[in-house]
Amino acid sequence: MKRILLTLIALGTMFAVGAQTDYHIQKVTLFELLPVGHRDIVFLGNSLTDGCEWAELFGNPHIKNRGINADNTVQMLERLDPIVSGQPKKLFLLTGVNDLADGRSPEATAENIARIVDRFRNESPRTKIFVQSVLPVNDTYGRFKSYKDGALDEPIRKLNVLIEKLCAERGIVFIDLYSHFVGEDGRMKAELTNDGLHLKGPGYLIWKGVIEKYVK
């Protein structure tokens, strides 16, 4: 019985990974076909961005969601062409936590974020860029091994310092989301998440409140 259970768990993991990979391909190929224009506001990120209906939340049809679940900075760099070429009005970027979870250092992750930012600065200079801090996580749910025992807490804080620095060096806006989501224990506030990483509805309302003045 134990062997059967282990086999089922292994198969489930395989299917989950496969589905995630399939999902990424599906979204990338779809985004390649969907135009981005100079009046559009692009939200670029991972599952946290992917999980929200931004156009509906802000009541703005020019908002384009380009978030993909499980995306990291390396994958993001590979899918920038259709967005950069569209010369969007604004870009809201949030990325980095999946890099840290995969073992990439805060320094290497920040370098990739800088490369993303610089592509827009060089190839779409009229795009107003807003880089958002990485959100805290909460390891008490036991859902993600990489977050166990607060393993990502310090790397996230360090990455946010580096992101703020690269924004200051380039004269672009850094938006601190982290402080609005972190609790007194240093973890994401429990009432805002159901798995320790992703947001429930109220979390997106907080996010909206922080960035609303920049979206308008």
Which tens digit of pLDDT belongs to each residue from 52-108?
999 999 999 999 999 999 999 999 999 999 999 999 999 999 999 999 999 999 999
Average pLDDT along the chain: 91
Tell me, yes or no, if the pTM score tops 0.75: yes
pLDDT digits (tens, 9 = 90+) for 190-208: 999 999 999 999 999 999 9
CB distance 47 to 27 below 8 Å: no
pLDDT digits (tens, 9 = 90+) for 104-125: 999 999 999 999 999 999 999 9
CB distance 192 to 135 below 8 Å: no
**Does 14 have pLDDT greater than 50?**
no
**Does 10 have pLDDT greater than 70?**
no
Q: Distance (Å, rounded) from C-alpha 185 to C-alpha 166?
A: 28
pLDDT digits (tens, 9 = 90+) for 145-167: 888 899 999 999 999 999 999 99
- Phi/psi of residue 132, each to 5°? -100, 145
pLDDT at 1: 45
pLDDT at 20: 53
DSSP strand pairing (63-67 vs 90-94) = unpaired
CB distance 63 to 43 below 8 Å: yes
